[in-house]
Chain A
């Protein structure tokens, strides 16, 4: 395909002042309410980020509410509370065997929760996101995801982590293949061996160049994720590609680092805006979708527990 036919259809319009102000206000309210404002703060920030992102000149809309996230947060906390309580109980017995059992249960529980978090988060976030009134959706099945996750985790453990590249690809293939945007489907066509070579090369060269290669490593990882994602509308495939260069990433990360350090964290909003802007504006599409012809296909899903769980586990989904 000719280079000049690629289109930059994504745009991020966020203004630094607004996000910094929003985050300060959120922090004040979180401090005053001893953290209870967290769900509402999170929703405000998500709404801001989604609404400032434009595809083909139309903004995305995030429909989530503080109440939904609060309910989910309580459920996620309870789940964690049980794990912690068991570990705490085991340590108070001063019985070595029980302490080991407690630790094992805690870590196994931690790993076992990951697919639940990924599944729930995708379902919630996508269902609560719309563009031109059409909602996204995730049709994945939790049991299927567990099967893929456990099988691949087992292979990753017995190969001392070497298989992790194939695991990532398998999970990506399943999750992305189940994303719907109305009648538009998504797919992931990356190969495990490709990611393995990127990781191997990245690891070696980063060490050999005392970290300098890390910017190329980031670039390759992002390209692998973006370039292997496809959109399909009525049988027509649209390819995506990232035009991000190692230099862009270097500039982005160094300047962000300085901003955060010298504003003592107050300027984190500026850094977030910069990441979104650089990332989205470097994604190109081989063709445009027929923007008027997407049909609403997905059902509503309002349970935010998985998304909150992902927040606690520090897994970033979208």
Chain B
């Protein structure tokens, strides 16, 4: 049986009572004194269910209160809610609390997950497209300036590199600026806005200008497709989303989430590399340089990759070079062949000489 207590708001004395919910009023009969108190339902200040306790508040401060404990409390709540405007919507919550909570948690997690994987990075990427081209070029130039300060720039080789781009009559939306860095590193990279850095180590491994043009066309694709800016936008958007979602979480969970984010970003970088390979081939065809150079370039990278240990290879931003070579070989355009250009050949020889 339910346990009903009445408090008069004047003292803390608990009076056991019986209540009867009528059309517009609640009748309270005090067990001990048999006194009957009438409350108008529309004048109730609040009715709140917590666990299996229903608390009803009535009148001016200090309020009279009724506490109904036990299984019947929900029935009383429902009965009273019928006569008031507010409170009906809360019924679903009280009746089906557990399933509602489970559904809420489930849909919230699902929504967050979907946003994290698709919507948020997409939004971040789109937001970067709003960056004006001039700003992008300036941004790249200032990063490049900083980078040059810490590295040994090969001025002569850089001059020849830019001449090579000029002789191809490259017409792209960004001013392409190439800088050669003296280093044994077998790599190259592109910054937003047209700044491309090539390490002398990779030039050293090249046998003909086709490979060098392949490398440049790969990097120029990164520039024209705004790959670095898009990556930046995506990772910034996900970071903001994560910190907004988890707010003030501890360093360890933040670390775990950060690692997950990096792995996700890695997958995206690999997509971009594949895109740059394929569009690089188109670029070479457009400027009439044999695309076979792209496959040869991959072989250089592959030979270099063999030197790395297994785990580093897994975490590399570039897809497995063997997969890249297979992907290139399945592109029909790679089989096209163009006549050797003496001008390019001469410049390539100068570049090779200048890095010695």
Contact = CB atoms under 8 A, between A and B. Distances in A.
Contact of A261 (B9, B10, B253): B253
A8 interface: no
A24 B105 contact: yes
Contacts of B51: 13, 15, 51-52
Contact of B65 (A24, A28, A133, A260): A133
A296 B9 contact: yes
Interface residues of B, number: 38
Interface string A19-47: 01100110010010000000000000001
B112 to A, nearest CB: 10
B252 A294 contact: no
Interface in B1-50: 7-14, 46, 48, 50
Contact of B101 (A13, A17, A31, A130): A17
Contacts of A295: 10-12
Contacts of B249: 260-261, 264-265
Interface centre among B9, B62, B249, B253 (most CB of A within 10 A): B62
A265 B13 CA distance: 43
B264 interface: no
Interface in A120-168: 130-135
A147 to B, nearest CB: 31
A296 B13 contact: no
Nearest to B100: A21
Interface residues of A, number: 39
Nearest to A262: B253
A134 B105 contact: no
B253 A133 contact: no
Nearest to B50: A51
Nearest to B101: A21
A291 interface: yes
A3 interface: no
Contacts of A52: 50-51
B50 A291 contact: no
B247 interface: yes
A94 B7 CA distance: 63
A257 B48 CA distance: 33
B11 A261 contact: no
B61 interface: yes
B246 interface: yes
Interface string B62-89: 1111010000000000000000000000
B61 A300 contact: yes
A156 B329 CA distance: 77
B114 to A, nearest CB: 15
Contacts of A196: none
A117 interface: no
Contacts of A48: 50
Given A28-B108, A31-B244, A296-B62, A132 B253 contact: no
Contacts of A291: 12, 14
Given A17-B98, A132-B14, A133-B65, A51 B104 contact: no
Given A25-B101, A31-B244, A132-B14, 5 more contacts: A61-B65, A134-B9, A135-B62, A293-B13, A296-B11
* 8 nearest A-B pairs in the assembled complex, by CB-CB distance: A133-B7, A21-B101, A294-B12, A51-B50, A132-B12, A300-B61, A265-B249, A292-B13
Interface of A: 13, 15, 17-18, 20-21, 24-25, 28, 31, 47-48, 51-52, 58-59, 61, 63, 130-135, 182, 257, 260-262, 264-265, 291-296, 299-300
